[in-house]
């Protein structure tokens, strides 16, 4: 597997973890606003695990110079899914724009 394929595969993983984390984040925010502590107690740690997972995957890719550190920063600032999905789309487009 070449570097481009490896990068695309990693972006696929990031995309799916971000989607699952986003599905958890939306009800978590709603539960927090409505003071549904039982829901927050369950969804909070699940979202936290997804968030940390995204940060680790993106950080490893940054260390390997597959993408810049901006990707990790935007993921942290947006609390995970929005920034990681934005970065995944942006990097995928850049890879498609360059010849293989």
For residue 79, what pLDDT is reported?
87
> String of b and e for 51-65 (b: at least 16 CB within 10 Å)?
bebbeebbeebbeee
Number of domains into which the chain is organized? 1
Predicted confidence at residue 32, as pLDDT, reads 95
Q: What is the pLDDT along the chain (100 residues), one digit of tens a residue?
A: 789 999 999 999 999 999 999 999 899 999 999 999 999 999 999 999 999 999 999 999 999 999 999 999 999 999 899 999 999 999 999 999 988 6
Domain that holds residue 52: 3-97
- Predicted pLDDT of residue 56: 97
Report which secondary-structure segment, H or E, holds 82.
helix 81-97
Q: Are 28 and 47 in contact (CB under 8 A)?
A: yes
């Amino acid at each position: 597997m070449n570097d481009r394929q490896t990068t695309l595969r990693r972006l696929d993983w990031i995309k799916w973890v971000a989607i699952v984390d986003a599905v958890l984040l939306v009800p978590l925010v709603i539960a927090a606003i409505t003071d549904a502590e039982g829901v927050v107690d369950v969804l909070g740690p699940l979202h936290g695990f997804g968030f940390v997972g995204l940060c680790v995957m993106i950080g490893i890719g940054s260390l390997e110079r597959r993408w810049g550190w901006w990707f990790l920063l935007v993921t942290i600032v947006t609390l995970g899914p929005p920034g990681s999905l934005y970065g995944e789309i942006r990097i995928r487009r850049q890879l498609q724009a360059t010849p293989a």
